[in-house]
Structure 1
Amino acid sequence: MKGKNYDKDIFIKVRLIGIKLPNGEIEVLATSLTDEKYKNEIFKSLYFERWKIETYYDELKNKLKVEYFSGYSKQSILQHFYAALLVSNIQSLIVEKINDEISEKENRKKYQYKINTSLSYAFLKDRIITLLFSQNNRQQAMEELKILLKSHLIPIRPNRTNKRNVLRY
């Protein structure tokens, strides 16, 4: 491969680690961190941290549709991708602020609540130009957006698990 110091004939040493999941199953993780100074226990928490990244990829692919480009040239693909990242960053900032307000004010009985991510992108899509470029209506658009987002909350269900159906595909 160009720019890589390895090819198909090079062996890479890996370390396999068995992690016991809450449901009792053993998940086998592979890492290139072969030094024993990295104890097996740290990999369990790292394993669960990766889901934040996985869910962000899901947002980019399925909610922002970054794989469906509006053009074919390199410039249009990059422009489309960077626009999606900009919208994602703006959405994250707005939702984080509102979620903080919700957690401070809301005392629900059974669950804590958060903003519905899918709907937040839909509501933001209709207001992004106003939020970015309008001198007069920016504050009004932001207040409308806050009201919409706060009226479509979803519960946070701790320790929720979904059984994977590996034979489905």
Structure 2
Amino acid sequence: MKVELAPGKTEYLLTSLEQLPLSDFQPLYHQRWGVEMGLDFYKNGLQLENFSAKTVLGVQQDFQAHLLAANLSALLVADANQELAQEQADKHHQHCYKVNRAVALGLVQDNLASLLLGKQPVEELYDRIKQKIKRRKQAIRPNRSYPRKRKLNYKFHLNKRPVL
């Protein structure tokens, strides 16, 4: 099937869904982006499959710690974005803003032990992390697209040369 992405850009997709009319695929195609970005966050941002342990129990603990950090980060991002939206409604900006998820994850990972050990009140630490996250916002620029820079693939890596 043929999907028009932007003026002059066409993408061809394969599907086994024969009952759905072709006109319904373009909106569905654009809705998949959030799902793909979520999977990208777990795989690359969180590095969910990068374990520091070698035992079964250690890998399970690593996995659960990653998911706990991701869930806390998502909660903080949602709260911070909601507060940013309220602040933006009062002011007139050129762009809308959202918080940086990678920064949020890093701050949660840095403060996870403090949150779990309870040396400080959880609400106070939560609010402090949220304020740090809100300061690291980024502009939302719709329909932004840049051409990819192609990297050359060499047959042999430059650092792996024979001694002679």
**1:141 aligned residue:** 125
Give unpaired runs (5+ residues) of structure 2.
154-164
TM-aligned CA distance change 1:132 to 1:40, over 3 Å? farther
Please give the root-mean-square deviation of Cα atoms over the aligned residues, in Å: 2.1
1:68 and 2:50 are equivalent in the alignment: yes
More helix by share: 2
Distance in 1 separating the partners of 2:106 and 2:117: 19
- Select the residue among 103, 126, 133 that pairs with 1:119: 103
Deviation at 1:19, TM superposition (A): 0.4
TM-aligned CA distance change 1:168 to 1:75, over 3 Å? farther
Q: Tell me if structure 1 keeps the 8 A contact 2:4–2:11.
A: yes
TM-aligned CA distance change 1:132 to 1:108, over 3 Å? farther
**1:94 aligned residue:** 76
Number of positions where the alignment pairs a residue of Structure 1 with one of Structure 2: 151
**2:156 aligned residue:** none
Q: Any idea what the Cα deviations from partners look like across 1:83-119, whole Å, max 9, x if unmatched?
A: 2122111111111111011111123421011111111
- Output the TM-score relative to the length of structure 2: 0.80
Distance in 1 separating the partners of 2:124 and 2:114: 9
TM-aligned CA distance change 1:137 to 1:20, over 3 Å? same
1:157 and 2:153 are equivalent in the alignment: no
The structure whose RCO (Cα within 8 Å, separation 6+) is larger is 2
**1:103 aligned residue:** 85
Q: Tell me if structure 2 keeps the 8 A contact 1:116–1:153.
A: yes
**1:14 aligned residue:** none
1:28 and 2:16 are equivalent in the alignment: no
Distance in 2 separating the partners of 1:96 and 1:121: 13
Give unpaired runs (5+ residues) of structure 1.
1-16
